[in-house]
Every structure is written in C-alpha cells, then in structure tokens.
Amino acid sequence: MPVSAQGALNRLLKIARVGKNSRVLELGCADGEVTLQLARHFGCRVVAADEDAPAGLPEKLHARGLSSRVEFRQIERSDMPFTEGSFDLIVLCRSLLFSLPRAAAVLRPLLAAEGRLVIGHRTRVGRLLDGDTGEELPAPRQLLHLLASEGFEPEGLETFGEKAGISCALLLGRRKEPSEAPSFSRRGR
C-alpha cells in the first residue's frame, strides 16, 4: 500500500477507535499488508478473507509473532460465512469485491452495534467515467451521501493518489440503528 494510502488508513483507524479488543474483518486482504498493520499496530484480532489465498501471509505472520491474532479464510464473494454482529470493524480497501451500495448492504449486518466500515472506492476530480463500468465516477461528497443512505453515519473521508483526474477515497462510517436520531451535524443548527 502506498505511503499516502497507509497514512490515510491509519488516520481513519484511529477515528474508528480500533484497539486490542476489536474484532476486525478485512475483506480482499490480497498480500496481507493491511492485515499485518491491523494486528501489529492496533493489536486487534483480524479475520483476513479473500477469494484467493494470500501468498506468504502465514510466513509473514509467524515471522512477526502475529499468528495468534490473525485467521485467514478463503471465501466466495457470493457467500459471507460470518455470523451477524461478529465484527467491530470491517475493512474493504485493497480489493473492491462489491459496489459501495452492495458492500454496505451485505456487510452492515456483520457489524456489531456501533461497528464501523472502512471502504475504499475510486473517486473523481471533475467529470470522469469509470473505465470498467462506463458509469460516472462519484465525487467524494457523493460517496459520503451514498454511505449515509445505506445506514451508516459518515465519520471520515480521506482521498489520495490523484492521477489523470482519478483518485482513491477511503471512507469510514459507523453503523446506525434504525431508531437512532440524526446526528447533530445533520439536524441543522
């Protein structure tokens, strides 16, 4: 993960109050770099899940003495084999397994009350189309509104890595409960 992306993720994880007792799911763990960061710097227990087994992750964990804090699970995108309310934090930033609305809908039930979601998404500066889908890339503010419309209270947004008008965004949202009143910032003053 590039240095600026790592800094952005660290800032959001601090806002999310990740700690030793946190139960974290990292989806799309790829080479396990974020998993290692979560286990080493924040001391939390991590379930690292991906469609493909990450090359060398068990060796990296063992070499750093983190094997007891990390469990790897090979999963299919269509099957989330986790119990509802199992995680305090879900991180989906290295590999976009779902669109943002689908990710929020699928992952929200897996979060405990007050649980948080950190999700990465491509965003734009100006008007640009996504090369993969042909749809217009959302602006950062649109991503926050989309997250809010899916039952999350947006708590943070970091953008980085602009190239040719496209940048990456990491969003942090807290799971809202249906009976929860709007936050002060959304009620107006």
Q: What pLDDT sits at residue 55?
A: 77
**In CATH, which of 3.40.50.150, 3.40.50.720, 3.30.470.20, 3.40.190.10 is domain 3-177?**
3.40.50.150
120-148, pLDDT tens digit by residue?
Answer: 887 766 555 555 555 677 788 888 998 99
SS percent in the chain: helix, strand, coil, step 5: 30, 35, 35
Q: Whose structure tokens read 């965003």?
A: 123
Contact assessment for residue 134 and residue 157, using Cβ atoms and an 8 Å cutoff: no
- Tell me the pTM: 0.85
CA distance 26 to 48: 5
Q: Which amino acid is at 124?
A: R
Q: What pLDDT sits at residue 115?
A: 96
**Paired tokens of 10:** 């660290």
* CB-based contacts of 165, cutoff 8 Å, min separation 6: 124, 125, 126, 128
List the domain boundaries for the chain. 3-177
Contact assessment for residue 10 and residue 32, using Cβ atoms and an 8 Å cutoff: no
Predicted confidence band of residue 188 (pLDDT cuts 50, 70, 90): very low
Contact assessment for residue 18 and residue 35, using Cβ atoms and an 8 Å cutoff: no
39-95, pLDDT tens digit by residue?
Answer: 999 999 999 998 887 778 888 889 999 999 999 898 887 788 999 999 999 998 765
